A and B are shown apart, each in its own frame.
Chain A
């Protein structure tokens, strides 16, 4: 199943303004893995994610998804394989109704009408949003928007899911439901977030990025126990791994 592999080699990127967002990043993610990408604000997480489906072209280095490197010719195939869920659902839900939004991707793939109907309802069912199908996206709650944003990506049946801060702006219950939803997916998952407790829940492997470089890459439990590493990367232990200040140290 080599087509589920994501391989990044010596990736560097500088924004037109001169900000060096990535300074040589390399890793390899294999089929079925769930990987958390953590780091301070401005560490380069979002820039890295944008390279994974070719919305940004690398200035140096290469990104391979499955059997081929991302180039203009393979872009179409890559975007079918990699489903990208953006941080702000308002950016992702641009069609007038939920149904049309979820159908947007499959329509671009040129699928027949019956298959589109099928995929849309299946994706909405998966995220528990079938009842929202005729609603306009701007009328949804934060949690509903997020669920629908994920459905818009699922309807393209990607093998790899890339999520940018999926739990931001969610209330605790919506956050918990989202975590359970993501846990139920068999896809290869790449999740960038500051919500380290969520990463701990979902990802067995974590990559730490600091100032455009990878400072650690390994099992999540080990990395989140490394106090020095976390401090250097402007991070903290997940709350769950800290002693409780109210009921006393464990």
Chain B
């Protein structure tokens, strides 16, 4: 539990990065959210055997990491923590899909390996883009941008409160598990009977807390809307950022740039 707490839920480190000042940080959150969305759609839209096509898209995270002054090692660490999900999704592809698709010198590369690589690449790219979005914008500003982009308020307020209270909830859960393990010295795993009762109690506690939070919100004049402190302003730089990147994504999607480059180089050689 403590490992999960320190690793996966240490999102606050990302939020701390969002306080930095850089050209990327200063952009309107809406521009960054829309660009990240366009990026994710582009990445996902590539075919499963297309390994070279999405490669130029690496330019997007690289440029943002450099301009946004983000620590690349830290972001890659987060990526590795989440990578088991993608590994599990793709790990059987090389076993199931053995038809040789291409040759790498003397090696026959099967379709399975290529699609496996493609899954990893696309997973890495989208997650990296999401991490960069939070690290340059802050979770809350992302929620605010979503609200402004007409995502239902119910959803964005939920997201924001979830983010705020995930730490409180994991803390409470961890204390309950510790209390159990201190009195269950000989047991290695929690029996399902006890787990269900703990989970149920956690739910009840969460409901109680939700009620108290709601009361605290009402006490301070809450009327269903969390208002932003500063109004968002969409400037020319924001529009340029979003349009330039989206244009680049479209280009990469419809023209296989590595192949074109390759042809160009080999053409010159001949």
Instruction: Name A's B-contacting residues (CB within 8 A).
Output: 50, 53, 55, 76, 79-80, 82-84, 86, 88, 90-92, 94-97, 99-100, 103-105, 107-109, 113, 116, 134, 136-139, 152-153, 156
Contact = CB atoms under 8 A, between A and B. Distances in A.
A156 B221 CA distance: 9
Contacts of B163: 96
B160 interface: yes
B188 interface: no
B219 A108 contact: no
| A-B residue pairs, 3 tightest by C-beta | A108-B221, A105-B220, A91-B212
Interface in B193-251: 209, 212-213, 215-223, 226-230
A134 B15 CA distance: 11
B164 A96 contact: yes
B63 interface: no
8 contacts: A55-B219, A79-B218, A94-B161, A94-B213, A94-B216, A96-B138, A138-B12, A152-B220
Given A96-B164, A139-B12, A76 B216 contact: no
A137 B163 CA distance: 12
A153 to B, nearest CB: 7
A86 B212 contact: yes
B212 A76 contact: no
Contacts of A109: 221
Nearest to A162: B219
Contacts of A91: 209, 212-213, 215-216
B229 A100 contact: yes
Interface string B135-168: 0001110000000000000000000110111011
Nearest to B18: A96
The SS class assigned to the A binding surface is helix
A70 B240 CA distance: 53
Interface of B: 12, 15, 19, 138-140, 160-161, 163-165, 167-168, 209, 212-213, 215-223, 226-230
A137 B227 CA distance: 18
A30 B110 CA distance: 84
A113 B161 contact: no
A175 to B, nearest CB: 22
Contacts of B221: 76, 79-80, 105, 108-109, 156
A95 B164 contact: yes
B133 to A, nearest CB: 16
Nearest to B216: A92
A108 B229 contact: no
- Which of A83, A91, A99, A113 has the most chain B CB within a 10 Å cutoff? A91
A138 B168 contact: yes
Nearest to B143: A96
Nearest to B166: A138
A50 B215 CA distance: 9
B20 to A, nearest CB: 12
B209 A104 contact: no
A153 B212 contact: no
A108 B220 contact: yes
A100 B19 CA distance: 14
Given A108-B223, A113-B230, A94 B167 contact: no
Contacts of B222: 104, 108
Contact of A55 (B12, B19, B167, B218): B218
Contacts of B19: 134
- Which of B12, B167, B212, B220 has the most chain A CB within a 10 Å cutoff? B220
A80 B219 CA distance: 8
B220 A79 contact: yes
A53 B227 contact: no
A113 B233 CA distance: 15
Contacts of B138: 96
- Which of B139, B227, B229 has the most chain A CB within a 10 Å cutoff? B229
Nearest to A96: B140
A244 B212 CA distance: 40
A167 to B, nearest CB: 19
